[in-house]
């Protein structure tokens, strides 16, 4: 499966291409404090020169720990945040530069987002059928009430809910059911691309399995393309075709899922995989995790990972490593490039 | 488990209830287990299973109107449920330490970490101020906080999440308790920090022969840490046994479904095993076996009678399926 996916890379047309994406937040103290305390402006590079592409029908996962910038990237792709610079090309059009509102609307319809918390993402005062019908009306896909009701029922069936549930309110549903409603709403406009930001993190494992299976079924049925944001490596392994690993806003490794999990290259990826509790109880010996994620406002020089990296040398402390091809993926590491990594 | 005199903690038929306008809700329903000195027992289950309430009930911290309706909790043979609050306070901290999910709720933001540690140490141990301070430094060093001497004067907000949880572990272990109850100690932490915290907790409890009740929803954490594991569902223990048996060959249909629904990083299954439905609400606990509406093996007996807990292999299971059927189930399990 992985071989097919990677073989198709060269000829597959990327549905989404992200290039040199950067997002800087101003985290300075208020003006008066700066004047009185003589403090200077401070900025936080949440996303630093990130590039990747997602071919049609694939699932690309972004993994990383808190503060790695994965949700920021998701927000910029769906247009909830403006990138400081960089390009986001969706089906050939750079969506950061679309000035025309009508054209943006047309594009918007083709990608949707599923959020982490199904308790916060559904309006508690709206009935479920109204929630699901909202995009249909907003995008002007359907306007006649009968047709909308038919479509809503169809969408509810699609996410394995009872069409009769449409008259209920969100609070009458469990977390897993609410996430199904959120998925039904996302699918209402027949999108091609879904950004899923931690779609199962708020759910119990048995419910998580239901949602992951549903996402896979829908992908097979409609040829959907997913960008999956997750900190759960087991979920990523199960869902993704390719995986990008983020550390402090930079991509350190991009590789086909199987390669990443069986032969991780970057020292950070290795540490991350090693830290996952071992459910197979193989009793394998693991390297203890060194240090903690540094403060992103004052990140280390050179490679951000060097203070924690067992392979770091002089060059790593000074020079930022570029993302270079390695096997079927890309790695940003001097040790790997120089062949110092075993 | 068989009754043993040397058990550190002995819980028998514990029932936790909440009186409400709609009647009495049973959040923990007749659970029994015991714990040996130095043993790590994992208490695992999904949200609403009653695992955290069990933990708070054991140490007498149930929020009213919640109450222990019946059952006993014995610490080294002495019954501790129903003790006057003053007596319980002396046991908490001194003989039973606690670690909660959010380290910020366990630490007072207005006091330096050192003051909190020293206060805890001096409340429970007859040490002078200077001795207690030295002990606080030792504790911080033991849990892996660099420059412990200097960090004593820091406030909780000056620590990262992982470092704060280390401080909480130091607090819990300050008086060398016989038992630590850790409720989702790593849930709020990143996976790399989680690995560090688990390693610290495991090492210290082994060194000091402290028993641990580890409450979590994460089977991976249990697999890494626990000696035995109890699986809870709708307020009841459905399966209890050595961790390797429960994880590698779960017997109860719920445990089996739970294990199957965890994505396996080693195997590349196209679909996950899924249990239909979700955990019942306390107001709607099904009759008979609480799991029967979601169980693929349920029969008429399961719908009317509550299955008793009986010994199967090295553990116990609460299910009407006979031993041969349960063993067949466990053989069928993925790993």
* Residue pLDDT, tens place only, B50-76: 999 999 999 998 988 999 999 999 999
Mean pLDDT calculated for residue range A227-240: 92
Tell me the chain A residues in contact with residue B270 when contact means C-beta distances shorter than 8 Å. 216
Tell me the chain B residues in contact with residue A237 when contact means C-beta distances shorter than 8 Å. 263, 265, 268
Residue B274 has pLDDT above 80, yes or no: yes
Cβ contact B229:B241 at 8 Å:
yes
Instruction: Tell me the helices (H) and strands (E) count for chain B, helix number first.
Output: 13, 12
Mean pLDDT computed over every residue of chain A = 88
Instruction: Give the Cα separation of B123 and B261 in Å (integer).
Output: 46
pLDDT at A152: 95
Name the nearest CA neighbour of B32 among B288, B321, B309: B309
pLDDT over 90, % of chain B: 56
Residue B1 has pLDDT above 70, yes or no: no
Instruction: Give the Cα separation of B8 and A194 in Å (integer).
Output: 53
Residue B160 has pLDDT above 90, yes or no: no
Residue with tokens 């994880």: B247
Token pair listed for A161: 């809910």
Residue A268 has pLDDT above 50, yes or no: yes
Tell me the chain A residues in contact with residue B255 when contact means C-beta distances shorter than 8 Å. none
Which of B190, B217, B257 is closest, CB to CB, to A231?
A: B190
CA distance B134 to chain A (A): 25
Residue B82 has pLDDT above 60, yes or no: yes
Interchain proximity A289–B224, CB inside 8 Å: no
Bridge partner list, B197: none
Instruction: Tell me the helices (H) and strands (E) count for chain A, helix number first.
Output: 13, 12
pLDDT at A3: 36
pLDDT at B246: 93
Question: For B55, phi and psi rounded to 5 degrees?
Answer: -60, -45
Mean pLDDT calculated for residue range A219-244: 93
Domain layout of chain B by residue ranges: 248-334
Token pair listed for B149: 């001497």
Residue A233 has pLDDT above 80, yes or no: yes
Lowest-confidence pick of B12-16, B244-248, B276-280, B284-288: B276-280
Lowest-confidence pick of A186-200, A235-249, B137-151, B263-277: B263-277
Lowest-confidence pick of A3-7, A22-26, B108-112, B140-144: A3-7
Which of A65, A204, A238 is closest, CB to CB, to B190?
A: A65
pLDDT at A181: 95
pLDDT at B131: 94
pLDDT over 90, % of chain A: 59
pLDDT at B332: 63
Mean pLDDT computed over every residue of chain B = 89
Bridge partner list, A111: A193
Residue B103 pLDDT level (bands cut at 50, 70, 90):
confident
CA distance A235 to chain B (A): 6
Q: Is the peptide bond before B65 cis (omega within 30 degrees of 0)?
A: yes
pLDDT at B41: 96
Residue B42 has pLDDT above 90, yes or no: yes
Residue A74 pLDDT level (bands cut at 50, 70, 90):
very high
pLDDT at B326: 78
Interchain proximity B219–A279, CB inside 8 Å: yes
pLDDT at B265: 67
pLDDT over 70, % of chain A: 95
CA distance B194 to chain A (A): 8
Interchain proximity A209–B219, CB inside 8 Å: no
Q: How far is CA B213 from the centre of its chain?
A: 4
The pLDDT tens digits of the residues spanning A15-38 come to 999 999 999 998 888 888 888 888
Residue B207, SS3 per DSSP: helix
CA distance B256 to chain A (A): 11
Of residues A103 and B37, the one with the higher pLDDT is B37
Residue B60, judged by CB atoms within 10 A of its CB (0-12, 13-18, 19+), counts as buried
Interchain proximity A281–B270, CB inside 8 Å: no
pLDDT at B2: 46
pLDDT at A66: 84
Mean pLDDT calculated for residue range B263-287: 82
Residues 6+ apart with CB under 8 A from B198: A277, B186, B221, B224, B225
Interchain proximity A271–B192, CB inside 8 Å: yes
Residue A61 has pLDDT above 50, yes or no: yes
Which residue of chain A comes nearest to B217, CA vs CA?
A204
Q: What is the ipTM of this complex?
A: 0.80
The CA distances from residue B326 to A67, B129, B273, B307, in Å, are 45, 58, 18, 14
pLDDT at A287: 73
Name the nearest CA neighbour of B326 among B263, B244, B255: B255
Instruction: Give the Cα separation of A211 and A175 in Å (integer).
Output: 11
Residue B334 has pLDDT above 70, yes or no: no
Residue B264 pLDDT level (bands cut at 50, 70, 90):
confident
CA distance B131 to chain A (A): 30
The CA distances from residue A339 to A327, A342, B133, in Å, are 13, 7, 49
Sign of the alpha-carbon dihedral angle for B253, B259, B262, B263: negative
Which of B193, B268, B274 is closest, CB to CB, to A292?
A: B193
Residue A228 has pLDDT above 70, yes or no: yes
The CA distances from residue A169 to A111, A115, A181, A231, B48, in Å, are 26, 18, 11, 30, 22
The pLDDT tens digits of the residues spanning A104-139 come to 888 888 989 999 888 889 999 999 999 999 999 988
Name the nearest CA neighbour of B59 among B98, B18, B8: B98
Mean pLDDT calculated for residue range B162-177: 91
Residue A6 pLDDT level (bands cut at 50, 70, 90):
very low
Sign of the alpha-carbon dihedral angle for A305, A310, A314, A319: negative
pLDDT at B5: 57
CA distance B31 to chain A (A): 22
Which of A208, A216, A278 is closest, CB to CB, to B261?
A: A208
For chain A, list residues whose CB is within 8 angstroms of any CB belonging to chain B: 1, 65-66, 174-177, 204-210, 212-213, 216, 231, 233-235, 237-238, 258, 261, 271-272, 274-281, 286, 288-289, 292-293
pLDDT at A1: 35
């Amino acid at each position: 499966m992985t071989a097919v996916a990677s073989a198709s890379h060269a000829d597959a047309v990327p549905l989404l291409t992200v290039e040199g994406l950067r997002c800087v937040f101003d985290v300075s103290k208020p003006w008066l404090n700066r004047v009185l305390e003589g403090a200077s402006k401070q900025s936080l590079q949440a996303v630093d020169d990130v590039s990747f592409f997602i071919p049609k029908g694939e699932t690309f996962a972004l993994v990383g720990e808190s503060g790695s910038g994965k949700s920021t990237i998701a927000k910029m792709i769906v247009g909830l945040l403006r990138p400081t610079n960089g390009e986001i090309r969706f089906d050939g059009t750079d969506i950061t530069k679309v000035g025309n509102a009508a054209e943006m609307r047309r594009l918007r319809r083709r990608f949707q987002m599923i959020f982490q918390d199904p308790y916060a993402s559904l309006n508690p005062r709206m009935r479920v059928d109204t929630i699901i019908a909202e995009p249909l009306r907003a995008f002007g896909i359907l306007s006649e009430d009968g047709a909308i009701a038919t479509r809503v029922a169809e969408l509810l069936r699609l996410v394995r809910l009872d069409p009769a549930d449409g008259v209920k309110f969100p609070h009458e549903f469990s977390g897993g059911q609410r996430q199904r409603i959120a998925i039904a709403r996302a699918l209402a406009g027949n999108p091609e691309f879904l950004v899923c930001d931690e779609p199962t993190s708020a759910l119990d494992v048995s419910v998580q399995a239901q949602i992951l299976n549903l996402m896979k079924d829908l992908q097979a049925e409609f040829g959907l393309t997913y960008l999956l944001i997750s900190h759960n490596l087991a979920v990523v392994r199960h869902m993704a075709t390719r995986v990008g690993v983020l550390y402090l806003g930079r991509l350190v490794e991009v590789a086909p899922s199987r390669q990443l999990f069986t032969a991780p290259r970057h020292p950070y990826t290795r540490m991350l995989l090693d830290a996952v509790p071992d459910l197979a109880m193989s009793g394998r010996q693991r390297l203890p995790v060194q240090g903690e994620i540094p403060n992103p406002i004052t990140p280390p020089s050179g490679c951000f990972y060097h203070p924690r990296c067992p392979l770091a040398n002089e060059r790593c402390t000074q020079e930022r490593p570029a993302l270079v091809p390695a096997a079927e993926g890309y790695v940003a590491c001097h040790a790997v490039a120089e062949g110092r990594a075993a | 488990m068989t009754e043993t005199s040397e058990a550190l903690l002995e819980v028998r038929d514990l029932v936790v209830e909440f009186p409400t306008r709609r009647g009495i809700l049973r959040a923990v329903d007749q659970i029994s287990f015991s714990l040996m000195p130095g043993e790590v027992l994992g208490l695992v289950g999904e949200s609403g299973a009653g695992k955290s309430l069990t933990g708070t009930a054991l140490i007498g911290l149930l929020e009213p109107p919640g109450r222990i309706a019946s059952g006993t909790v014995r610490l080294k043979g002495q019954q501790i449920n129903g003790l006057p609050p003053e007596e319980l306070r002396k046991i908490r901290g001194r003989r039973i330490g606690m670690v909660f999910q959010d380290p910020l709720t366990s630490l007072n933001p207005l006091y330096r970490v050192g003051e909190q540690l020293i206060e805890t140490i001096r409340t429970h141990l007859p040490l002078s101020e200077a001795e207690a301070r030295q002990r606080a430094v030792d504790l911080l060093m033991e849990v892996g906080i660099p420059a412990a001497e200097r960090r004593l004067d820091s406030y909780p907000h000056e620590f990262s999440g992982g470092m704060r949880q280390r401080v909480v572990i130091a607090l819990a272990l300050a008086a060398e308790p016989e038992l630590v109850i850790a409720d989702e100690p790593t849930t709020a932490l990143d996976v790399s920090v989680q690995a560090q915290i688990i390693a610290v907790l495991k090492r210290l409890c082994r060194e000091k022969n402290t028993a641990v009740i580890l409450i979590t929803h994460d089977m991976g954490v249990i697999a890494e840490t626990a000696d035995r594991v109890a699986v809870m569902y709708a307020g009841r223990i459905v399966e209890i046994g050595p961790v390797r048996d429960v994880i590698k060959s779960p017997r109860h249909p719920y445990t089996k479904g739970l294990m199957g629904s965890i994505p396996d990083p080693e195997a590349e299954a196209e679909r996950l095993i899924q249990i239909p439905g979700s955990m019942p609400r306390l107001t709607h606990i099904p009759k008979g076996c609480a799991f029967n509406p979601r169980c693929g093996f349920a029969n008429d007996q399961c719908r009317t009678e509550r299955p008793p807990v009986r010994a199967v292999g090295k553990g116990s299971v609460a299910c009407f399926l006979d031993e041969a059927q349960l063993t067949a189930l466990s053989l069928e399990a993925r790993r």
